[in-house]
Copies of this chain bind each other. A is one copy, B any other.
Amino acid sequence: MAVVGGEAVEEDVAVAAMVVAALLSKSMPLLEQAVLDLCCTTLPESVAIADLGWNDFNAVFKSLPTFHEKMKEENGEEFGPCHVAAVPGSFYHKLFPSRRLHFVHSSCSLHWLSQVPPELLNKQITNKGKIYLSKTSSPALIDAYASQFQRDFSLFLKLRSEETVPGGRMVLSLMARRTPDPVSDESCLLWDLLAQALQGLVSEGLIAEEKLDSYNAPYYQPYTEDLETGIENDGSFSINGLEIMVLPWDSASGGQNYDRPTTAQKIAKSMKAVQEPMLASHFGAEIMDPLFKRLMEIIAADTREVEHVSVLVSMTRKA
């Protein structure tokens, strides 16, 4: 998903990028091991690599000349060639011809669902004043979210298993939780605070109550063990390694010792960078600034802290 805009937006993106970069650097050892394993076992004449996620294609394309220069510097003039292409579409659809890919990578994306659970869309169940799971969620709501993730994740595995050659590798990272409890603070607190900010704009009359009640995040933070079960049930991939990556509460501030208000500001900026396109299309672009200002105040006034938990799983396509 492309994020465009002026300097303010760029700063939000920079803060969010810092968090992603911290996660990527943690995931490097497992990622490098997967690449090495692939090269040592089944190195084909040409290697097809897919990186699946939310990308600003224009930014990726602009970065390519520098990338190719660096490749030449590090590997010599004769190295390559390396061909790059952008594939539009959702990773919940088939993206590549069958048995085409040797390596699949997806970073920080698979916690996004293909859609809001249908039970919420058709109003069979409601989620009044909230936008994701919370402490007060009904069992039906919890089930609806868990089932949607299960369907999406098994569809993702099925599609990728078709596209990947036997012996091919796949490394996925996504937001996750270390507890079976689907409404623990670890996975729900920030969504709850964002819902509070939206409720504030409702009471100010800036947002209609029905507008908030009809918005739910197409998001799910799964329990790491459920993820393993999903991969085992699919049966096409064997797990080589699974790692839980934990970033501290104030990781958006780049690991420096900031105070609560500054950390609140960084977290709000980071959330804005990721969520603004979705929220703006539902609530209107004009309320984004007041919304995230209020979110920042709410986080600053709160005392709770949660760690940001991701899971990294490395697997091999079975023969």
Contacts and interface: CB of A to CB of B under 8 A. Distances in A.
Interface of A: 2, 46, 57-58, 60-61, 64, 81, 83-89, 94-97
Contacts of A60: 88
B81 A88 contact: no
Contacts of A61: 57, 88
A85 B83 CA distance: 12
Given A46-B97, A97-B46, A57 B86 contact: yes
A86 B83 contact: no
Contact of A96 (B2, B58, B83): B83
B89 A86 contact: no
Contacts of A58: 2, 57-58
A46 to B, nearest CB: 6
Nearest to A81: B94
17 contacts: A46-B97, A57-B58, A58-B58, A60-B88, A64-B88, A81-B94, A83-B87, A83-B94, A83-B95, A83-B96, A83-B97, A84-B88, A84-B89, A85-B85, A85-B86, A85-B87, A86-B86
Closest 3 CB pairs of A and B: A61-B88, A85-B85, A86-B86
A81 B60 CA distance: 26
Contacts of A96: 83
Contacts of A88: 60-61, 64, 84-86
Nearest to A89: B64
A66 B202 CA distance: 37
Nearest to A45: B97
A268 to B, nearest CB: 28
Contacts of A57: 57-58, 61, 86
Nearest to A88: B61
A60 B58 CA distance: 13
A281 to B, nearest CB: 15
Nearest to A57: B57
A193 B306 CA distance: 66
Nearest to A86: B86
A264 to B, nearest CB: 34
Contacts of A81: 94, 97
